[in-house]
Amino acid sequence: MNKILDKTKGDRWIWLIIILLSLISVLVVYSSTSTLAFKRGVGVEKLLLTKHVIFVLIGIAMIYIAHLLDYRYYAGISKVLMVITIPLLVYTLIFGANVNDASRWVKIPLIGLTFQTSDLAKLALITFLARMLTRKQENIKDVKEAFIPIMGSVCVVFVLIAWANMSTALMLFGVSILLLIIGRISIKQIMMVCAGGFVLLLFVAFLGPRREVYKSRIETYMHPERQNSDKTFQSDHSKIALASGGVFGKGPGNSIEKNFLPHPYSDFVFAMIIEEYGTIGGIIVMSLYLVLLYRCIKIVTRAPKAFGALLAAGLSFSLTIQAFANMAVAVGLGPVTGVPLPLVSMGGTSLLFTSIAFGIILSVSKDVEENSSKKVIVGEIPAMA
């Protein structure tokens, strides 16, 4: 164990959070997928749990690999990712697999797995924005040199994602605005980006292929009493799970609502956590994400380079905003969306992209630790002389 710990760098608290969330994920997914496995006539271990555990282990391995790579390399990688991402988003809208009137998935050749291109787009846009904001600091107020390229990248990615996945697009847009604020973009220019995003939002909401879905979800959230039971089915059973969990929960594997909720292992995994582990379990999970945000903010404040600070800030904001959006939906504070709980919800490629984000944050943290060690050594030399 000591040998493994010696080879891992970066914030130890973040490593602990990764391990704890991964263990929680395996426990909850095992419980919440048992009904689905029974319906398919296959043991849960063979059908879903084994696959999920494999992805969790691969994810941890990717975190380890990503954290070993110097985070400065991700500046160059971000350019390649953006070149790949925008055509891939367009391809997904035209040729992607259509589920619930939304083309979000593309199939990976040879291996047959599908992935949401928005997961790649989040990683690409955040790393690209961190790079652009760092490189343009000297002329950050210049509209032609800095503002237009930055605004263009944000708006193009936003509208391409929003066309099929509004919730993810809105969260990514919010993270982008936070990065622009940290990157010293003027308030006037930020307001222009917000105005542009609002216009694009209206365009997609009223003219996009999912406009009826968006309208229905908002109406269901605002006026649930006017809707039929089919439209409020998921949120109703999520609330039942929350109410029946009590303080200490029903215990691992004893959930009843997993038999009714369509996606208890992904979209409503937080409801399953509270039903089986109670309010205490829910508070623990919430606290883990809050500690993650706190540790990442410490990394941001101590990072010696602007790129590292912006990179850690953007990725940590993205992960925590996504986490609390998922939990908000489960407790009825927001309309139903398909946003997973990072590192907890069952998922294949989405889990891997989340793992890469954690690995990059740890890479920045590793650099912070190394710089702190150098300062300590340098500071000791005069005293020893």
Q: Into how many domains does the chain fold?
A: 2
Residue 294: predicted pLDDT: 95
| Same-domain status, 360 and 215 | yes
Residue 385: predicted pLDDT: 30
Which two structure tokens, joined as six digits, stand for 181?
């604020």
Phi/psi-derived region of residue 321, left when phi > 0, alpha when psi is between -120 and 50, beta in every other case? alpha
Residue 185: predicted pLDDT: 80
| Same-domain status, 64 and 154 | no
* Three-state SS at 106: strand
Range of the domain at 365: 10-68+211-372
With contact defined as beta carbons under 8 Å apart, do 348 and 328 qualify? Answer: no
| Same-domain status, 360 and 306 | yes
Digits of tens for pLDDT over the chain (385 positions)? Answer: 455 556 678 889 999 999 999 999 999 888 887 766 666 665 555 667 788 888 899 999 999 999 999 899 998 898 898 889 888 888 888 876 665 555 667 777 666 667 788 888 899 999 999 998 888 777 766 667 777 788 888 888 888 888 878 888 889 889 988 988 888 787 888 888 888 888 888 888 787 777 777 777 777 777 666 555 666 777 888 888 888 888 888 888 888 888 888 778 888 889 899 999 999 999 999 999 999 999 999 999 988 888 999 999 999 999 999 999 999 988 888 787 778 899 998 877 788 899 999 999 999 999 888 777 666 554 544 433 3
Residue 230: predicted pLDDT: 63
Would 230 be classed as within a structural domain?
A: yes
Radius of gyration for the chain, computed over Cα atoms and rounded to the nearest angstrom: 22
Cβ atoms within 10 Å, residue 104: 24
Would 85 be classed as within a structural domain?
A: yes
Would 332 be classed as within a structural domain?
A: yes
Chosen domain end from 161, 178, 209 = 209
With contact defined as beta carbons under 8 Å apart, do 178 and 319 qualify? Answer: no
Which two structure tokens, joined as six digits, stand for 331?
């407790």
- State which amino acid sits at residue 292: L
| Same-domain status, 216 and 205 | no
The CB-side HSE value for 235 (13 A sphere, CA atoms) comes to: 24
| Same-domain status, 197 and 217 | no
Residue 98: predicted pLDDT: 63
CA gap 133, 385 in Å, rounded: 42
Would 5 be classed as within a structural domain?
A: no
Closest CA to 131 of 82, 67, 188: 82
DSSP string covering 38-78: HHHTS-HIIIIIHHHHHHHHHHHHHHHHHHHS-TTHHHHHH
| Same-domain status, 186 and 252 | no
The CB-side HSE value for 254 (13 A sphere, CA atoms) comes to: 12
CA gap 78, 150 in Å, rounded: 13
Buried b (16+ CB within 10 A) or exposed e, 257-278: bbebbeebbbbbbbbbbbbbbb
Q: What residues form DSSP beta bridges with 98? A: 103
Residue 24: predicted pLDDT: 93
Tallying the residues shown for the chain, one arrives at 385
CA gap 313, 122 in Å, rounded: 13
